[in-house]
Structure 1
């Protein structure tokens, strides 16, 4: 009798452990076809909704103040003639493309950052936190540098006085 109770307990515990392993999970397929087709039909009926959702990337235009500064620089470099108008017109585009092509750079409708820097219109770091005493600040006059430091510079550079 003890043997049959032990075997029955073993059988029940094995059954408790084995049943979840053999159980299959059924997944209910969601019916999103209707929702998708309804959404697609709604989107295709409104032409303006497509343009409303389109995200624009990159620079979309040039502000009149910036266009004036670029035109002044192009006039100074003899790529544009006349007076700056502040309008990013076809003559300004052609002058910028010619300037960039002469530098061996890719010509684009929007000015290249290298071209703007070459025209002297790059970023202004004069008000940056670390601008004082940096490479952007004017160097100290030779009379302001201590003699020991000046001789150290001279010996490090290999220049004899």
Structure 2
């Protein structure tokens, strides 16, 4: 496979992993911040509940994506070039990005009835969950597209 095609596939994997990670973080936030309560499941019809969950999940995930896009892609680029493939680095970076994004003015006000310390814990947990899902889809292969990595693997298989 050519280098350009390999890079395009990797960029698609990164974008897809980020999208899935934001969906997971949004789902975790919806349940942890009690935007969705278990008693809501009995009050609505199945179709109405499904539409509400999907629209709400996409809305919350888009807020996470908007708040974390630039810092997350900077961290992803650093991890790609340093070949950081471990889960712990991704999880800690996700928690840090979520805490930094939560301190921005446009990220507050979504859960006014929650104590500030609990809100900090919820944001950190959602960042860790989102980063862990990103790691499952894209982070485990960070830096494998780089030329020196491919050359060292091909040298090992030839001998």
TM range (shorter): under 0.3
TM-score after normalising by structure 2: 0.21
Structure number with greater Rg is: 1
- Structure with bigger RCO (C-alpha 8 Å, 6+ apart): 2
Q: Counting helix residues as a fraction of each chain, which structure ranks higher?
A: 2
